[in-house]
Chains A and B, each alone.
Chain A
Amino acid sequence: MSDIIINDIHAAYGRTAVLFGISLEVREGELVCVMGRNGVGKTTLLNAITGLMGLTGGSISFDGKDISKASASARARMGIGYVPQGHAVFPQLTTRENLQVVNERLGKPDKEALNEVIDLFPALASLMNRPAGLLSGGQAKQLAIARALITRPKILILDEPTEGIQPSIIHQIEDTINDLHKATGMTMLLVEQYVEFALRLADRYAVMDGGRIVDTGDTATAEMDRFASLIAI
């Protein structure tokens, strides 16, 4: 039962409230996409789910357990994988070390998991000895996804994986996400502003505005026009 139930959560940076009662459910094996303009609180929502940001109200449960009070690293060890927005790598560690340090976090490294993520992102194979801070945006994004996958998470959370990335790599990332979702049934929560990309991948969508969810639905029946007014495309 690897699902996430977000129940009426509130979050704030100091005194500035950013999330105002968000409720959202991601069921096992589902791929849900959250969309919305810049600054509406998408990243904040993901940070609240992964434990980087505390809640001022509401609760989050994962796998049937309340995780609202658990630390970020405890949540990660429970099986929540997170690919944050931007250049989410350890800049002075090489590509290999970026993967290694996460792979060996609990002791013995999992050789097979390492090979699997390299198979998913073959481009990384030739970049193993390069400091991750010197990777291009697309390369770093692939490394960041590989880093999250190497722990074999039960749910993968991605924050704008296509942001600032060239179309050919976007396609590759789309294929990888799609394959993982279809082949292994991995549960996923995706934040994305690239609407076509999101609708192609997701089973369900939610649209955020001003720290609230203002629309939800199935992507199969969604009409593009709906989004024009809610999301700056």
Chain B
Amino acid sequence: METLLEQAFNGLSVGSILLLVAIGLTFTFGQMNVINMAHGELIMIGAYTPYVLQHDFGLAAGLSILLGLFIAFIVAGGVGVAMERGLLSRMVDRPLDTLLVTFGVSLILQQAARDIFGAPNVDVVAPSWLKGSVTLLGVIMPYTRLFIMALVAVIVGGLSVFMARHAEGRRMRAVTQNRDLAAVSGLSPRRVDATTFFLGSGLAGVAGVAVSLIGSIGSQVGSGYIIDAFLVVIVGGLGRMKGTIIAAFALGMLNAYAEFWKNASIGKAIVFMAVIVFLQFRPNGLVSFRTRGLTS
């Protein structure tokens, strides 16, 4: 029983990081049909941010994490926008090219990280207030993981409100749903794309800071999350926040249980199989919108 609960906790904790990564992907994928292969390296940029703050700027562990969340959001967001403006906007409607180009960017960023930080993994020092754990119903819950879950809850809540209520959130949804109509209505899809890319990429950066708290980091730290995040996006249904949330936790849980039951690679295989079976029944993902028109 305790191990069952323990895996549930692990699932929730992995799911919450997956959720941050996947939301960023649904933004760029849903609105611009861009499969950003470099999304994982934005996670990496985020993960190295508190490291740089500690190692090069000598900030205290706590400050480096809190400030790091903010800086990682801005830096990863900025890199995302630069990529969009400099590369992706030049290859609109060429999905294969964007795939290759973002893959190239991904390799370049990984190599850059190895050149700057060295090949071996490094560790971010967790602040003292994140050391330790609580034990609830026999499950040991490390503070770092609880912190990450709370962080993700706050971000996802804030983002939902932003998308539902804020004018820019409304514009983002409008452009995602009907780009041409948005353009002829005088909205600037190109400008809204920049917001979308900034938010989506920035969230990957924030996810990176979270990742740095639960293990050592290296140039490939992001790639580990990216496949799972793509699965979440596909299962959740494109550009659907609610579906993405459910899918992230479902996959996180499934992964945790399957891994516990056999081992990591069997776990992965089970998750892939489950996704394939699921897509046979719901090819559009969990949450697909009812609509009367065939085209929309």
Contact = CB atoms under 8 A, between A and B. Distances in A.
Interface of A: 50-52, 71-73, 75-77, 80, 82, 84, 86-93, 97, 100-102, 104-106, 131, 133-137, 140, 147-148, 151
Interface stretch (B68-76, B99-107, B264-272, B288-296): B288-296
Interface of B: 167, 170-171, 173-174, 177-178, 180-190, 289-293, 295-296
A205 B219 CA distance: 65
B180 A72 contact: yes
Of all A-B residue pairs in the complex, the 7 with the closest CB atoms, nearest first, are: A76-B186, A133-B291, A87-B293, A72-B183, A91-B296, A82-B184, A101-B170
Nearest to B183: A72
Contacts of B290: 133-134
B174 A90 contact: yes
Contacts, number: 99
B241 to A, nearest CB: 11
A135 B190 CA distance: 28
B171 A101 contact: yes
Contacts of A135: 292
A140 to B, nearest CB: 8
Given A93-B170, A97-B170, A50 B184 contact: yes
B185 A147 contact: yes
A104 B166 CA distance: 11
Nearest to A107: B167
A99 to B, nearest CB: 10
A229 to B, nearest CB: 32
Nearest to A71: B183
B189 A73 contact: yes
A52 B183 contact: yes
A51 B184 contact: yes
Contacts of A84: 180-181, 184
A136 B292 contact: yes
Given A91-B289, A101-B173, A148-B185, 5 more contacts: A76-B186, A89-B296, A106-B186, A136-B292, A140-B293
Nearest to A139: B292
Contacts of A80: 184
A151 B185 CA distance: 8
A151 B186 contact: yes
A88 to B, nearest CB: 6
A88 B177 CA distance: 11
B185 A87 contact: no
A134 B291 contact: yes
Contacts of B189: 73
A76 B170 CA distance: 19
B186 A89 contact: no
